[in-house]
Structure 1
Amino acid sequence: MFIFDAPYISDIALNYLVESQHPTLLTEFSSKIMPDGVNCLSRDEARALVGENNGSWLYTNSENSIALIMDLLGEDSPIVKRVKFFKNKLQFREATKKFFPDIYFKEISSDQLGSLTFAEIGRPFIIKPTVGFLSAGVYRVDNAEEWAKIQNDILAKTNKAASTFSEDVIDVSKFLIESVIEGTEYAIDAYFDDNNEPVILNILEHRFNGKYDMGDRLYVASVDIIKSNFSRVEKFLKQLGTIDDLRGFPLHVEIRIDENGVIRPIEVNPLRFAGWCSTDIAFYAFDINVYEYFIERKKPLWDDIFEAKKGREFAVAILEKSRDVADNLFFDYEKLEKSLTSIIKLRPIDYRNQPLFAFLFLGTDASNAGEINSMLTLDPQQFLSPLK
């Protein structure tokens, strides 16, 4: 069963819902944009279907639907307990510390932010909401001077980012302090099959513009990225599957792999793949419709994909809005498209009401790979033009 919700539903998802006729529970948001022909369920029908599947094989594209799922199934349902576990970063760290004993972590309340000193932690650290989403409220702190600068406005900035989400998605009452996990960062879209075995649908390299960049600007996919990491990622996911029964459960997992090939988890996001429409990079890069592969329990034929897509590099670039756009300006998407040669798909976002301008799906060969990396320093503000 699917539940699609705000802030965005991709055309790939919408088309698949019509073509496949897989059951979908409408939300207030999705009911306004769903095309004719979608197999829509009432709440009672949805509740019964999830019960028949023992809480498995449910997918949502948005964490905004978590409150709906909790209301629909009840706080004591296994799937709600599983969602709460993965959403709470402290609980996740406690459950996995036997696998990763070198990761330091500590929870503090928002009231303690002002009095906390760097000396109390005694090492560089990452601080973020215990229950969070995207990179809202996530900071790296290497010394006392940096903490003094961040300390004064971390709560205000996190509150602003959280204002459009429920507390089930971002809760600013508690923050988690944890070790700086070094290495190359990757994002994984996967689900667990009926045997509680992981099925990998994509492995993306999350690239940054320096060590203090905590943003979500650029995710890159290629045959080399997946082939070189597949075995160790699969082993890690199998380890994750020993924590709970994850059959029929989709996940978006963020990890780092150090120079010795050791994986350490950053976080696990339940019931979904990469946020907004980022997961669709699997379709543009490898012809994998993740919605279809999950709900129909399909497994990618990776050897065939590797042969067909070798030598190519793909990416999704998320063009965020650094400040509100004045009423006399507009974002010139045509100008943006003309400035790049590797665009496969440009998806405009309602930037008047959302924190983003666009999602760019890119594809190129090695000779033009520099254009993908240039996304890290691209300033979207340059595409603002006066209204005529």
Structure 2
Amino acid sequence: MSKVYLVKSKQSESGTIETLPKFEWIQIIEDTGPELKSILERNEKVAIISESSIANVLSSLEQSNPKRRAIELFKDKFLFRKLIKDEEFKVKEVAFRDISKLQVKNKSVLKPLKGCFGTAVKIVDESTNFEKLEKEIQNEIEKNGSIFSENVLTSNEFIIEDFIEGEEYAVDMFYNSEGKPCIVNIYHHPLPKHEHYLHMIYYSSMKTFDEIYPLAKLFFERLNEKISVTDFPMHCEFKLIGNKLIPIEINAMRFGGMGLGNLAYHSFGVNPYRFFLEGREPNWTEVFKNLDDDLRFVYFIAYNSFSKDIRTNFPKIQKLRDEFTEIKFEQLFDYQKQLAFGVFCLQENQENLNRLLQINFDDFFEPII
């Protein structure tokens, strides 16, 4: 029987495996050792669950393999902008020690060269106090660096790039064995009130699909005219400006992290890995046919408190549950070892979704007695 191989590392963040039911056609392998190289050489269906595995995938691919070239293009911010013909978009490398000396004229995004969980991602402009910001970033990196390795979260290498206005969206997709793009979910990523909880909410809806699907499909068709890959999953981030979809970042060889890619399974019964295995796209018209247009299918990451010490405080899980309209799936984590105490798949209305975006997780942690 054909299989999908999910590649994990010792530094993989929680979420993807924990939120996916076990299937005999999914095999989980480590990103070290000869097995990874062997299955890549056989052109099996392979997806990683964390950016921490991408270096080992690269080293296991032949130089001539189109997948290797595509991964390298997406990882290099400068080559990526050239690839998509957006060279007016300015990207500059910055060492951590130079952050305090930065001067910017326009609204920009400062972030680690490699990052996870929105750690140390800052929106800056000409009014930013960069000396103060450098100290904030150092504290954030030290706090989260105990969980993520340098392969996942760089502490000394940063980039600063133009800020693109517009609503943010993400797409999980793959190119099948014929190189055709197959979309397995589309998410709207509204920004929360508190920037420390950047990735708290992603959601899918019929409105989101109607707006983004045709634009994304066209983008992916044109992209593969340049990279020529097959059996290649991707998690892609965009900004929507008018009717134009602007690519921000492409994460190769995986779907949405921390289990985001499994939202479709718990919301619609659509398993993205099953469709990846079979090389086909869900019939999204059928999926949404009997669903209310106003429903929002939410992936909610329950962050640890930003201000309270998790060594002396614990999460009030039931208090958070009471904020939700309907919980479709719940997975709790060891908050002492992760940056979140759980993830939830929710069914919400827009009114309550707007309220959830105001959440401050400091309010959901209380002292250990």
Query: TM-score scaled by structure 1?
Result: 0.83
Q: Given that residues 90 and 130 in structure 1 are in contact (C-alpha distance below 8 angstroms), is that contact kept between their aligned partners in structure 2?
A: no
Shift in Å, 1:333: 2.1
Q: Residue type matched to 2:318 in 1? A: E
CA contact (8 A) 1:117 1:144 kept: no
Moved more, 105-114 or 260-269: 105-114
On the 8 A contact 2:66/2:228 being kept in 1, the answer is: no
Match of 2:362 in 1: 381
Counterpart residue number, 1:38: none
Once the two structures are superposed, the pairs formed by residues 1-388 of structure 1 within 5 Å of their partners are: 1-5=5-9, 6-8=12-14, 9-16=16-23, 18=24, 20=25, 22-26=26-30, 43-53=33-43, 57-70=45-58, 72-73=60-61, 78-96=66-84, 98=85, 100-118=86-104, 122-158=105-141, 160-209=143-192, 215-258=198-241, 260-311=242-293, 312-321=295-304, 322-323=306-307, 325-327=309-311, 329-364=313-348, 368-385=349-366, 387=368
SS in 2 for 1:309: coil
Could you give the per-residue CA deviations for residues 2-29 of structure 1, whole angstroms, max 9, x where no partner exists? 213433243453412x3x2x4432469x
Post-superposition offset of 1:323: 4.5
Worse-matched range after superposition: 230-239 or 80-89: 80-89
SS in 2 for 1:137: coil
Query: Judging changes above 3 Å, is the alpha-carbon distance between structure 1 residues 213 and 186 closer, same or farther for their aligned structure 2 residues?
Result: farther
Please tell me whether the aligned partners of residues 239 and 248 of structure 2 are also in contact (alpha carbons under 8 angstroms). Answer: yes
SS at match of 2:334: coil
Give the letter aligned to residue 110 of structure 1.
Answer: F
**8 Å CA contact retained: 1:140, 1:212:** no
Contact 1:90–1:107 (8 Å) recurs in 2: no
**Alignment: residue pair count:** 360
Q: Distance in 2 between matches of 1:211 and 1:234?
A: 32
Q: Which has the higher contact order (CA 8 A, sep 6+)?
A: 2
Q: What is the DSSP-based 3-state SS (H/G/I as helix, E as strand, rest coil) of the residue aligned with 2:257?
A: coil
Segments of 5+ residues of structure 2 without an aligned counterpart are none
- For 1:58, what is the secondary structure of its paired residue? strand
Q: CA deviation at 1:93?
A: 2.4
Give me the whole-angstrom Cα distance separating, in 1, the residues matched to 2:257 and 2:144: 16
Listed one character per residue, the Cα deviations across residues 207-234 of structure 1 (whole Å, up to 9, x for unaligned) are 1135967711111110111112110111
Equivalent pair of 2:31/2:57 in contact (CA under 8 Å): no
Return closer, same or farther for 1:387/1:126 CA change in 2, 3 Å cut-off. Answer: closer
User: Could you state the TM-score of these two structures normalised by the residue count of structure 2?
Assistant: 0.86
Identity over aligned pairs, percent: 24
Q: Is the 8 A contact 2:299 2:343 kept in 1?
A: yes
Are the equivalent residues in 1 in contact too, given 2:77–2:91 (CA < 8 A)?
Answer: no
Deviations 1:106-133 (Å, cap 9, x if unpaired)?
2233343232223xxx322111123333
Question: Contact 1:319/1:356 (CA < 8 Å) preserved in 2?
Answer: yes
**1:39 alignment partner in structure 2:** none
RMSD: 2.8
